Structure 1
Amino acid sequence: MPLYEISNNELKPLVGTTFREQNLWERRDLQRLFKLNISVIDPDLLVIAEEFGEWNEGNRRIDLLAVDKNANLVVIELKRTEDGGHMELQAIRYAAMVANMRWDVAVSIFTRFLSDNGIDLDAESRLCEFLDWDKPRQDDFAQNVRIILASADFSKEITTSVLWLNEHELDICCIRLSLHKIDNKLVLSSEQIIPLPEAEGYQIEVRQKKREERVSRGDSKDRSLYTISFNEEVFKCDFKKSDIGYNTVKLLEDNGLIDNRVFALLRDDTSCSFKLLKLPEEMTETEMRYAKYRYRQEPEITYEGKGYYIARNWGLANTPRFIEKMEKSFPSLKYSSNGD
């Protein structure tokens, strides 16, 4: 990304340089700088480990391992090269290796990271504070693994691969790191190039549509109707997938089960790629355009004086995941369908 200095009536291009020319290296410099300043790459991350490689075998290491605000693990790979090397393949291996990480393991490695960097904090308390949790919620931790690739630039092979992988439900973004010189000082800029930030909501919608199209090509159109019960008593029967979130929330509300803990569980749920509960002012244009919430109606649930709407972005791919999570969280809650 070119940078310019404004001088009177002209724009003077700033001198661009490279990490190689400035003798900056991935581990010695980029990793060291980013581990405590990760907001340069993403403001909603907390780094919990560097050079992480506690595998059963092999000596490969994740440059930086982080957690995002949705309690997902984030694998961050750094390169100083102009083409990114084969970083996407490395990152996918690493993501697979940490996919089953437990909460207690994350706390343990974060404790070590804090100690190694001279930071006097309790790891579990800091994680809970970052995630806005009153207490650890092990079942909600590491439901997904994201990948961030940060490099001076990326080859066409990498960008093409990342676009294709994102279409097939991986979550990978590319951050371009640029260096410039200003009065003998080095200036770093970071720019997300995949996915384009302004198109991110739209791309989620496209992935969801393609996912459902792939499923429907192998099967006739899904016309399943669902029934939801509590303590073996039917609460609602024969409703479509689009209402599974709504009827689940209403059942919990009618049975007086929504306290602060349960509300936080529902509020943070993203099983359908969108937050289960949203205030109207939190909705994006894309979510309104494609009617992901019934925002034109009265609020569907009110909690502590605020009216929320319930996501209706349900399909064959994400409905089973939501059902499994809810039945595990509420053992008396059961779902069935005419397709069972």
Structure 2
Amino acid sequence: MFQVDRSQNRLKQLGRTTFTEAGLREREHLQEWLATTPGALGEAIGEELLIIQKEFDGFDGTRERLDLLALDRSGQLVVIENKLDDSGRDVVWQALKYAAYCSSLKKAEIITIFQQYLDRGEGGDAASSICEFLQEDALDEVVLNEGNDQRIVFISANFRREVTATVLWLREHQIDARCVKVLPYLFGEDLFIDLQQVIPTPEAADYMIRMAEKDTEEKSAKGAQRWSHQMRYAFWEEVLEAFREAGLERWQNISPSRDHWLTSSIGVSGCILVLIFLRQEIRVELQLNRSEASENKWLFDQLAKDSEELAGKVGAELEWRRLDDKKVSIIQCKLPVQGYSKENWPEMIEWLKQHYKRMDAAFSERVASLAGQMKSGG
């Protein structure tokens, strides 16, 4: 890792160190960093994880503890094993045991495990946190820890050959195992940590994701998708057909999805209009999700000054969600409805079409103008 010296147009190499030399410990430091800042690991592996427990020892008949337990966006459990300067030879066997132990955990047990973790920390409700993370409307629609597809992430500064060879073999047999290299660097008195996924490489990971998506499509054609996914896909097909017939240009090249949302750009980076289809509600919402939280909050505050005027243009009550604890801010209108009753779909689609057009007319140019002011420093 190098520092750029702009004054001399040179690179200065940062000093490599070891966790041992820096006086750092696995549980007190590395594990705690990952638990409290899961985004660091998420950046390395290219996806978000929800940490639900650390030092988990809830295995019958054994006193073993896994380092970190997490959920991925599909609701699958992820076993995370941390080592410092060397992976050791037995870490794969250790993690495989933990994955096998966790394979039998039921939804209620996972929620209890997460709730215990929250109660020891900042508090909160496990069920609602899981729903928010998975972007699901209700927990009864969520499948957690399905089948035997538990995942494993190994973290260390150095991986022995027997570990990397075994991880590659596991991946060949459709077990999602990954190696993330964590390296400490010194710059004066400051310590820096670099996390990089080394197995699979990012290019290989993208290929595997595409192959998994292809496999999912094939299973969908055979009727293997979950009923809720089929319902969403069918609904979005009808919505998109109606939007195209209405001449809404931004939706001409959008494809239907199994997710409960579809998005459309308004021509401003990080700002999108979103259609949301839930079991008991549909929504149209403006999401302000630029890279800098301060920009989103500023845009929100400027728009909120004209909240009554904007509600009048939309012709519906608007819900203003600044979300001070998150990067994104949201402005939405919604309609309570029995969404999974197909006889309601024509009315729902008409409502989405009309309120999307009104939200677009009310907000898009205004947001673009405000974004232009930010860019020019106004």
State TM-score, norm by structure 1: 0.63
Within the alignment, does 1:63 sit opposite 2:38 as a pair?
Answer: no
Report the counterpart of residue 117 of structure 2 in structure 1. Answer: 113
| d(CA) in 1 for partners of 2:257, 2:136 | 21
2:169 maps to a residue whose letter is: W
Report the counterpart of residue 171 of structure 2 in structure 1. Answer: 166
Whether the 8 Å CA contact 2:5–2:11 is kept in 1: the answer is yes
Secondary structure of the residue aligned to 2:185 is strand
1:6 maps to a residue whose letter is: D
Q: Give the C-alpha shift of residue 85 in structure 1.
A: 4.0
2:158 maps to a residue whose letter is: D
Q: 1:127 to 1:139 in 2, by over 3 A?
A: closer
Whether the 8 Å CA contact 2:89–2:162 is kept in 1: the answer is no
1:120 maps to a residue whose letter is: G
Report the counterpart of residue 196 of structure 1 in structure 2. Answer: 201
Report the counterpart of residue 99 of structure 1 in structure 2. Answer: 103
Report the counterpart of residue 130 of structure 1 in structure 2. Answer: 133
Q: Give the C-alpha shift of residue 71 in structure 1.
A: 0.3
Report the counterpart of residue 246 of structure 1 in structure 2. Answer: 221
Q: 1:243 to 1:133 in 2, by over 3 A?
A: closer
Task: Compare the two structures and name the one with the higher helix fraction.
Answer: 2
Q: 1:137 to 1:3 in 2, by over 3 A?
A: farther
Q: Structure 1, unaligned stretches of length 5 or more?
A: 213-240, 253-260, 268-276, 279-298, 312-340
User: What RMSD in Å do the two structures reach over aligned CA positions?
Assistant: 3.3
Report the counterpart of residue 156 of structure 1 in structure 2. Answer: 161
Q: Structure 2, unaligned stretches of length 5 or more?
A: 244-250, 259-378
Q: Give the C-alpha shift of residue 201 in structure 1.
A: 3.0
Whether the 8 Å CA contact 2:136–2:142 is kept in 1: the answer is no
Q: 1:139 to 1:150 in 2, by over 3 A?
A: same
Secondary structure of the residue aligned to 2:36 is coil
User: Please, which of 83, 88, 92 is the counterpart of residue 79 of structure 1?
Assistant: 83
**Percent of pairs with identical residues:** 31
Secondary structure of the residue aligned to 1:35 is helix
Secondary structure of the residue aligned to 1:181 is strand
Q: 1:159 to 1:124 in 2, by over 3 A?
A: same
| d(CA) in 2 for partners of 1:301, 1:106 | 34
Alignment of 1:304-323 (within 5 A): 308=255
Report the counterpart of residue 30 of structure 2 in structure 1. Answer: 30
| d(CA) in 1 for partners of 2:117, 2:230 | 28
Alignment of 1:277-296 (within 5 A): none
Residues 244-280 of structure 1: CA distance to partner in whole angstroms, max 9, x if unpaired?
A: 623649xx9xxxxxxxx9544766xxxxxxxxx69xx
Q: 1:13 to 1:308 in 2, by over 3 A?
A: same
| d(CA) in 2 for partners of 1:300, 1:126 | 26
Whether the 8 Å CA contact 1:102–1:138 is kept in 2: the answer is no
Report the counterpart of residue 90 of structure 1 in structure 2. Answer: 94
Report the counterpart of residue 2 of structure 2 in structure 1. Answer: 3
1:39 maps to a residue whose letter is: G
Q: Give the C-alpha shift of residue 156 in structure 1.
A: 1.4
Report the counterpart of residue 327 of structure 2 in structure 1. Answer: none
| d(CA) in 1 for partners of 2:201, 2:88 | 18
2:16 maps to a residue whose letter is: G
Residues 167-224 of structure 1: CA distance to partner in whole angstroms, max 9, x if unpaired?
A: 0110011110011111211011100111111221324577999xx9xxxxxxxxxxxx
1:36 maps to a residue whose letter is: T
Report the counterpart of residue 237 of structure 2 in structure 1. Answer: 301
| d(CA) in 2 for partners of 1:96, 1:191 | 26
| d(CA) in 1 for partners of 2:212, 2:138 | 33
State TM-score, norm by structure 2: 0.57
| d(CA) in 1 for partners of 2:18, 2:205 | 29
Alignment of 1:175-186 (within 5 A): 175-186=180-191
Q: Give the C-alpha shift of residue 92 in structure 1.
A: 0.8
Q: Structure 1 stretch 50-59 or stretch 79-88: which is displaced more?
A: 79-88
Which entry has the higher C-alpha Rg, 1 or 2?
2
Secondary structure of the residue aligned to 1:177 is strand
1:130 maps to a residue whose letter is: F
> How many residue pairs align between the two structures?
240
1:25 maps to a residue whose letter is: R
Report the counterpart of residue 143 of structure 2 in structure 1. Answer: 140
Ranked by relative contact order (alpha carbons within 8 Å, sequence separation 6 or more), the top structure is: 1
Q: Structure 1 stretch 83-92 or stretch 124-133: which is displaced more?
A: 83-92
| d(CA) in 2 for partners of 1:131, 1:62 | 23
Q: Give the C-alpha shift of residue 59 in structure 1.
A: 1.1
Report the counterpart of residue 39 of structure 2 in structure 1. Answer: 39
